[in-house]
Structure 1
Amino acid sequence: MSKPLELTSVIRQARGPQHTATVLFLHGLGDSGKGWIQTADQIGQTMPHVKFILPNAPVRPVTIFNGYRTPAWFDILQSGHLERMLSPDDAETWILNTANSVNRLILDEVDSGIPAQRIVVGGFSQGCAQALVTSLISEYKFAGIIGLGGYLPSKDKILSIATDANKNTPIFVAHGDADETVPFNVGEMTSEILKDKGYNVTFKSYAHLGHWINEDVTQDMLSFLQQTFVRKLWNLYDI
C-alpha cells in the first residue's frame, strides 16, 4: 500500500469561546471542502462549540470520466450498481489508503485535545462512501457517522476488516428518492447491509430530492449532531 497522502482541508473554527466537538465531513466527487462551507456555517450558528474540518480530495484520474483528473477519494468504474462501481483491488489501492489519510486528520484532532467520542465523521456521495469505510475500519470510537446520498464500496472487503469500535455508534444515512447519480435503492441497500451487520443505523428518505441536499437534510443533520454530541458528552468516559 502506498504512503498516505497529506490532505489539505478547509477549516471552520468553533464560533464560541469553547471548542468541544468536531465534525469531519468529506465532499463528493469533483467537489472540494469549499463546497460545504455554507452547510457548516449554518450548523455552526446553532452549535458554536463545534469545529468543522472539510478535507479536499486529491486530484486523480477517474475511469468513469475517461481518465479525466478531478478531486476524487477513489476511482469509480461505473455508476448505479453497488457491486460494479469499483475494481476488485480498489479497496486496497485507493479506499484504504485514503482512509489512512483521513485518519491522520482525526489523529491530529485527538492529539489537539478533542476525544474521538466528540468527533463525527460524515460525507456526501463519494465522500459518504469514504466516510463509511474510514469509520468502519477505524480503531477510534466516534460520536456519530453521517452518510448522505452515498453507499458502502467494496462491502465484502470492508466488512471483513471492520473493527468493533463503532458497532454501536449512531449512523445517520439519508438519501433522496429522485437521486439519479447514486440511485435511491443503492442508499437503501447500504442502510440494510449495515443494519444486518448489527450497526446502529437510522435511514431517512426525502421525497423528490435528487443528488444534493436541501434544508430538510441540513436540519436533520443538525438534529442528529445535537442529539449525538449531547449523548456522548454524558457518556464521554464510557469507553
Structure 2
Amino acid sequence: MLASTPIIIEAAVQHTASFIFLHGLGDSGHGWAPVMRQLSKKFRFMKFICPHAPQIPVTLNSGMKMPAWYDIYTLSDTDENEDETGLQKSANALLDYVKVEQAAGIPNERIFIGGFSQGAATSLFTALVHPDIKLGGIIALSGYIPCRKLIKSLPPHPLTTPVFAGHGTADFVVQYSWHRKSVEFLRQLGGARITAKSYEGMQHSSCEEEIADVVEFINGCLAIPEKTEL
C-alpha cells in the first residue's frame, strides 16, 4: 500500500530510468527534492520519486509522532532492539514504488533506490531481505544496515545490486563507525560492487563532493559512455 502522494520529478526526455529516494527521520519528500532536481539535470531520462514517510510515534523522541520509516529505540549500535516490523512494512512500501516503475516499462537494472540516514537504512534493508530483486543500484547516504542479526539468519544469497555508501567522518547521529561496519558487512556477503566514500569533517548531512560521486556512481551503473557534466 503506497503512502501519501510522493514528490515526483518527471524525466525531461523519454523516461528510461527511475530513482526512488527516501528521506531521513522527521523530514519529508520535499527535503531532498532540490537535490533530486539537481540530479535530474544530469540524468534527463530519469524520473525521480521522493516518497513521504508515515507519521508514527518515535521512541527515541519520547514517543512523539513524526515522519519515520520505522521506530528508533536507541542510537547505540545494537542488533538486539530494532523495529523489524516497521522496517518490513517500509520495505514493502518501497517495493510497491519499484513495482510501479516496472509496470511503466522500466527494467530492474535501470531502477535505483536509496535514501539519507533512516531512508538509506530502509533501502539497504529492503535490498538485503529481497536479494533476488537485482536493481540498477542502491545509494545510501549517511546510513547503516539495520537488523543485521535477522539478515544473517536468512538463507545465504549474495547481494548483486551495486551499492554506493557515502558518510561524513564527523557524523555523530549515525556514527561513522556504523558506516565502516555496514560496508564490511556488505563485503562479507559478497557479490555486489561496493563503492564506499568518506567525507572528512562532514557531519550528518551531504556535500557537493558526495553528490558528484553519486553522479559518477549512477553513470557507472548505467554504463553511460559519455560522463554527464557537473
Equivalent in the alignment of 2:146: 153
Equivalent in the alignment of 2:56: 60
Which segments of 5 or more consecutive residues in structure 1 lack a partner in the other structure?
232-239
Matched ranges for 1:13-162 at <5 A: 13-16=10-13, 18-79=14-75, 81-83=76-78, 87=81, 90-91=83-84, 93-138=85-130, 139-161=132-154
Once the two structures are TM-superposed, the CA of residue 167 in structure 1 deviates from its matched residue by 2.0
Once the two structures are TM-superposed, the CA of residue 87 in structure 1 deviates from its matched residue by 2.3
TM-score scaled to structure 2, two decimals?
Answer: 0.91
Question: Whole-Å Cα distance in 2 between the matches of residues 222 and 174 of structure 1?
Answer: 12
Question: Whole-Å Cα distance in 1 between the matches of residues 145 and 90 of structure 2?
Answer: 15
Matched-pair contact (CA < 8 Å) for 1:132–1:152: yes
- The count of residues paired between Structure 1 and Structure 2 equals 222
Matched-pair contact (CA < 8 Å) for 1:40–1:52: yes
Once the two structures are TM-superposed, the CA of residue 36 in structure 1 deviates from its matched residue by 0.8
Question: Whole-Å Cα distance in 2 between the matches of residues 163 and 196 of structure 1?
Answer: 11
Equivalent in the alignment of 1:224: 217
Matched-pair contact (CA < 8 Å) for 1:7–1:101: no
Does residue 10 of structure 2 align to residue 9 of structure 1? no
Question: Whole-Å Cα distance in 2 between the matches of residues 116 and 35 of structure 1?
Answer: 26
Once the two structures are TM-superposed, the CA of residue 227 in structure 1 deviates from its matched residue by 1.2
Which segments of 5 or more consecutive residues in structure 2 lack a partner in the other structure?
225-230
SS of alignment partner, residue 97 of structure 1: helix
TM-score scaled to structure 1, two decimals?
Answer: 0.88
Once the two structures are TM-superposed, the CA of residue 101 in structure 1 deviates from its matched residue by 1.2
Once the two structures are TM-superposed, the CA of residue 196 in structure 1 deviates from its matched residue by 1.1
SS of alignment partner, residue 83 of structure 1: coil
